[in-house]
Amino acid sequence: MAPSAETEYGDNVEVPDNKSRVTVVGSGNWGSVAAKLIASNTLKLSSFHDEVRMWVFEEVLPSGEKLSEVINQTNENVKYLPGIKLGRNVVAVPDLEHAVRDANMLVFVTPHQFMEGICSRLVGKIREDAEAISLIKGMEVKMEGPCMISTLITDQLGINCCVLMGANIANEIAVEKFSEATVGYRENKDIAEKWVRLFSTPYFMVSACQDVEGVELCGTLKNVVAIAAGFVDGLEMGNNTKARQFKRSLREMKAFSQLLFSSVKDSTFFESCGIADLITTCLGGRNRKCADAFARNGGKRSFDELEAEILQGQKLQGVLTAKEVYEVLRHRGWLELFPLFTTVHEICIGRLPPTAIVEYSHS
């Protein structure tokens, strides 16, 4: 609701509020970094309200304190981004409906498996003129076929949704090491440029690309490839083997994306969301790290166990995405066309040993 002001006659009249309000839906490692980036810009951009709300899935810390309260007291997400100040204009809100109230710029950054439930809770609770952007890697696999998260948001909430993907290891951006990202959009370039301004800083360069599906699939599929890279590292097969996987995985990413969506552009794979993100994720990141440990243990420790031990509450996306991609391939009869994607999933579920990734590479 627009604020009111008193006229010289004592009447209250509504004053149009043209400033945008931002809410970040998610408060994990990447969500907290996103809030930090955005909060530094809303203080500078006159078209935005200073305050940035961040929805926090409430947790009780070992100290007995609530996570949202500690974030607001310390200006720090002590569980998922310790040691980093988010900005005094970031406000942690544990109530989802309250967090999105009055916001017309919604930033979604949660594990993708939770998005359908989150969207169902938000139906009828957001502004009609709201715009969304998804920083989420993954897809929903339904009977009628795969559904990208941006499409899920648009379909369930009835709002336009852009995406932001790139070579973005959150902890590096948190300490302001240089990085870049790609905003994917459908038709409205002005909205894309607004998102670019909201995220851009001297250490975080953002550009726009008119290819939502291409940008989003790059961000999704690279997590499957990172699992494969972790297997190679865990087997100590060296950089030459990993480099060969880069080449073959990029080929599968491109082919899969363009089979699903003919609109996907070749050039998108040369943006930050494409080859740059693929390299970064396969050299570092949580998927590679857990897959490395899985291979070193000969596949005898489950990914669920390794996730809990290594990630300390963060979620592993690559294994679930590999399963979702496999379901699409099996349903469409494409398994033989994508040997890397197929092999990664079959290793993850124990059907093949970790060494199968090397046997695949030599095939």
Q: Is 289 annotated as a binding residue?
A: no
Opening angle at CA 61, ends 65 and 317, nearest 5: 140
**Residue 226, amino acid:** A
Question: Binding site annotation covers 315?
Answer: yes
Residue 254 annotated in ligand binding? no
Instruction: Answer yes or no: is 286 a known binding residue.
Output: yes
Q: Which residue has the tokens 């865990």?
A: 234
What is the phi/psi pair of residue 124, to 5°? Answer: 80, 5
In 3D, which of 181, 201, 179, 197 has the Cα closest to residue 189?
A: 197
Residue 195 assigned as binding residue: no
Euclidean distance between CA atoms 197 and 107, whole angstroms: 14
Cα–Cα nearest to 196, from 208, 185, 188: 208
Q: How far apart are CA 41 and CA 266, in angstroms?
A: 32
- Please name the residue that has the structure tokens 């004053």: 15
Is 269 annotated for ligand binding?
no
Catalytic residue among 36, 79, 194, 222: 222
Give the closest residue to 146 by CA, choosing from 54, 221, 247, 64.
Answer: 221
Q: Which residues pair with 5 in a beta bridge?
A: 13
222 flagged as catalytic? yes
Query: Alpha helices, DSSP H only, in 143-236?
Result: 149-157, 170-174, 189-199, 212-234
Pairwise CA distance, residues 303 & 294, whole Å: 7
Q: φ, ψ for residue 210 (rounded to 5)? A: -85, 75
H helix count then E strand count, the chain: 15, 12
Is 317 known as a binding-site position?
yes
Contact 253, 270 (CB under 8 A): no
What length is written for the chain?
Answer: 363
The reply, when asked if residue 137 is annotated as ligand binding, is: yes
Does the annotation place 27 within a ligand binding site? yes
Q: Is residue 29 a known part of a binding site?
A: yes
User: Would the annotation count 26 as a binding residue?
Assistant: yes
Q: Residue 337, exposed/middle/buried by CB under 10 A (0-12, 13-18, 19+)?
A: middle
Going by the annotation, the residues of the binding site are: 26-31, 57, 114, 137, 170, 286-287, 315, 317
Catalytic site positions: 222
Binding residues for NAD(+): 26-31, 57, 114, 170, 286, 315, 317
**Annotated binding residues for substrate:** 137, 286-287
